[in-house]
C-alpha cells in the first residue's frame, strides 16, 4: 500500500515524539503543518527541506517511494504551483481573461478535496479575475467558498484577505458605508490570527483611509494613514512608505493644511528617491503642481509638470527587467493612472496665465477613464470639463463652453454637494454672462451659492 507524503511526515513526527507546534517551529504555522499531514496542502520545496532536516531524513525519502506515488503527488503539486505563478503574472499584466481560463482548466483537470488549501487558493485567484472582469456575482460565489475553507482550517490571515476582496465591488460604486462594514469584518477575522502580515495590514489601512476621506472624514483618514506609516516604520519593512506619505500629503491638501502638506510631500519624495520609485516620484510632481496652482504660482506648477513628464519618459524609454519594472512603476500601465492630472493641471496653469490656446491644447487631450473609483479623483477628473468650458469661452466658442460645463455638471452631481460642483455652476454663470444671457447666469450663480451654503452646513 502506498503511503502519502503527509502520512510520512506525521508518522515520523509521532515516532520522534514531537508535537506539531514543535515541528512547525518558526518555519510554518501549526495549522499549515496539520494541513500537510492530512494531505490537504503540499509544502514548498524550502519547507519540505526544513521538515526533512527536523525529522532527520534525506529529502529523497519524502519524494520517493516503492511505487513512486508520493513523488507523482509532489510533481503534480509542483506543476500546479508553477501554473499559479504564471497566472499571477497574467493578472499582473491585466490579462485576466487568459488567467481565468487557465484557472478553470486547472480546477477541471485535478481532483481537490473541499477542505484543500490549494483549492481555496485557486478559487481566490479565480474570484480575483472574475471581479476584475466585473463578473461580481460569480466572483463572490468563489470568494465565499474560499473563505469557508480558510476559516474551517483556522487560516485567519488568508481568510481576512478573502474577506477584504469583497471590498472592491462596493468601492467601485462608491458605497463607502458598505466598504467600512467589509473592512471591519476583515479586521475581526484578521485579529483572530496569532501571526501577522504587516504588508496586508498596511494595504487595508491605505484603502480604509480613502474610504474615510470619501465620507468627508479627512481627520480620520489622516489618522488611519499615520497608523499605516507607523506599522511600516516600526517593523522596519518600509512597505509603500513613499506611497503612504504621498496620499497623506493629498489629504492635507484637501484640508488646506499647507505646512503639513509640504512636510508629507517632502517625506514622500525622499523615500521615493531612496527606493528609486519613479511611479511615486511622478505622483509627487503632480500633487506639487496642484498645490502650486492652488497657491496661484502657475509658473512653478508648470515646472513640476515638466518634471512629471521627465519621469514618464524615463519609465517609457527604460529597458528594465519585468521585476525591476514592478519596482519603479508598480505595474506596466501605472504611468497612465494619473495622466489626466497632468493635462488638467497644465491646462489650469496656462488658463490663468492667459495662454488660452495652450490651455485648450492640453485639456482636449485629457482622457476621461471610466475606472475612477476614488471620490476625489472622480470629482477632480470631471472638474476638468469646467476648465475646458472656461477655456472655450475665452476662445469665443461660448455655445461649446456651455455644453462642455453642463456635461461635467451631470457627472459631478452624482455627489450632491462638492466644491467642484459649486465652481462648475459659478463658471457656467460666467459663460452665460459673456453671452449676455443674464437670466441663466443668475440661475446658475444662485445654484452655485445654494450648494456652497449646503457644504458649509455639513
Domain residue limits, the chain: 196-274, 368-457
Mean pLDDT of 150-171: 94
Q: What is the mean pLDDT of residues 445-450?
A: 95
pLDDT at 136 over 70: yes
Say yes or no to pLDDT of 131 above 50. Answer: yes
CATH class of 368-457: mainly alpha
* 368-457 shares the fold of 196-274: yes
What pLDDT does residue 65 have? 52
Nearest alpha carbon to residue 260 among 248, 271, 272, 244:
248
Does residue 73 surpass a pLDDT of 70? no
Task: Provide mean pLDDT across the span 160-179.
Answer: 93
Digit-coded pLDDT (tens) for 187-204: 999 999 999 999 999 999
* C-alpha span between 421 and 216 (Å, rounded): 16
For residue 328 the three cell numbers come to: 519603479
Provide, rounded to the nearest whole percent, the portion of the chain with pLDDT above 90: 64
Question: How many of the other CB atoms lie within 10 Å of CB of 154?
Answer: 17
Q: Flag whether the pTM goes above 0.85.
A: no
Mean pLDDT, all residues of the chain: 89
With cut-offs at 50, 70 and 90, classify the pLDDT of residue 346: very high
193 CB-contact burial (10 Å; exposed 0-12 / middle 13-18 / buried 19+): middle
Rg, the chain, Cα only: 27
Q: How far apart are CA 290 and CA 252, in angstroms?
A: 12
Residue 438 backbone dihedrals phi, psi, to 5 degrees: -70, -25
| CATH architecture for segment(s) 196-274 | Alpha Horseshoe (1.25)
Residues 6+ apart with CB under 8 A from 146: 120, 121, 123, 124, 127, 162
Amino acid at each position: 500500500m502506498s503511503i502519502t507524503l503527509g502520512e510520512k511526515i506525521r508518522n515520523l513526527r509521532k515516532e520522534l515524539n514531537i508535537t506539531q507546534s514543535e515541528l512547525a517551529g518558526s518555519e510554518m504555522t501549526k495549522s499549515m503543518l496539520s494541513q500537510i499531514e492530512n494531505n490537504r496542502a503540499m509544502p514548498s520545496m524550502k519547507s519540505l527541506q526544513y521538515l526533512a532536516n527536523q525529522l532527520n531524513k534525506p529529502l529523497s525519502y519524502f519524494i520517493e517511494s516503492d511505487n513512486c506515488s508520493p513523488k507523482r503527488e509532489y510533481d503534480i503539486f509542483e506543476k500546479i504551483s508553477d501554473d499559479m505563478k504564471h497566472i499571477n503574472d497574467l493578472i499582473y499584466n491585466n490579462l485576466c481573461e487568459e488567467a481565468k481560463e487557465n484557472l478553470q482548466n486547472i480546477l477541471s483537470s485535478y481532483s481537490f478535496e473541499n477542505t484543500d488549501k490549494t483549492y481555496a487558493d485557486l478559487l481566490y485567484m479565480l474570484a480575483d479575475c472574475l471581479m476584475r472582469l466585473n463578473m461580481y456575482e460569480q466572483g463572490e460565489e468563489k470568494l465565499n467558498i474560499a473563505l469557508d475553507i480558510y476559516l474551517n482550517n483556522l487560516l485567519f490571515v488568508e481568510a481576512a484577505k478573502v474577506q477584504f476582496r469583497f471590498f472592491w465591488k462596493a468601492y467601485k460604486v462608491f458605497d463607502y458605508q458598505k466598504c467600512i462594514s467589509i473592512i471591519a469584518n476583515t479586521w475581526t477575522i484578521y485579529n483572530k490570527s496569532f501571526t501577522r502580515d504587516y504588508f496586508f495590514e498596511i494595504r487595508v489601512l491605505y484603502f480604509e483611509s480613502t474610504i474615510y476621506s470619501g465620507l468627508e472624514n479627512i481627520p480620520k483618514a489622516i489618522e488611519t494613514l499615520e497608523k499605516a506609516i507607523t506599522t511600516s516604520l516600526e517593523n522596519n519593512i518600509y512597505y509603500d512608505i513613499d506611497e503612504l506619505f504621498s496620499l497623506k500629503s493629498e489629504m492635507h491638501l484637501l484640508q488646506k493644511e499647507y505646512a503639513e502638506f509640504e512636510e508629507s510631500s517632502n517625506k514622500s519624495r525622499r523615500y521615493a528617491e531612496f527606493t528609486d520609485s519613479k511611479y511615486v516620484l511622478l505622483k509627487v510632481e503632480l500633487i506639487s503642481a496642484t498645490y502650486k496652482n492652488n497657491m496661484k504660482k502657475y509658473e512653478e506648477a508648470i515646472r513640476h509638470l515638466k518634471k512629471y513628464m521627465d519621469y514618464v519618459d524615463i519609465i517609457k524609454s527604460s529597458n528594465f527587467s519585468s521585476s525591476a519594472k514592478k519596482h519603479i512603476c508598480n505595474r506596466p500601465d501605472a504611468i497612465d493612472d494619473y495622466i489626466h492630472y497632468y493635462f488638467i493641471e497644465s491646462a489650469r496653469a496656462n488658463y490663468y496665465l492667459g495662454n488660452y490656446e495652450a490651455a485648450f491644447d492640453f485639456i482636449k487631450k485629457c482622457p476621461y477613464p471610466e475606472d475612477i473609483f476614488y471620490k476625489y479623483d472622480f470629482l477632480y477628473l470631471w472638474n476638468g470639463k469646467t476648465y475646458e468650458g472656461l477655456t472655450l469661452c475665452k476662445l469665443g466658442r461660448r455655445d461649446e463652453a456651455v455644453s462642455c460645463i453642463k456635461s461635467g455638471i451631470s457627472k459631478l452631481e452624482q455627489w450632491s454637494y462638492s466644491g467642484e460642483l459649486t465652481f462648475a455652476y459659478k463658471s457656467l454663470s460666467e459663460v452665460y454672462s459673456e453671452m449676455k444671457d443674464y437670466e441663466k447666469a443668475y440661475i446658475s450663480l444662485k445654484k452655485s451659492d445654494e450648494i456652497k451654503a449646503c457644504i458649509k452646513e455639513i
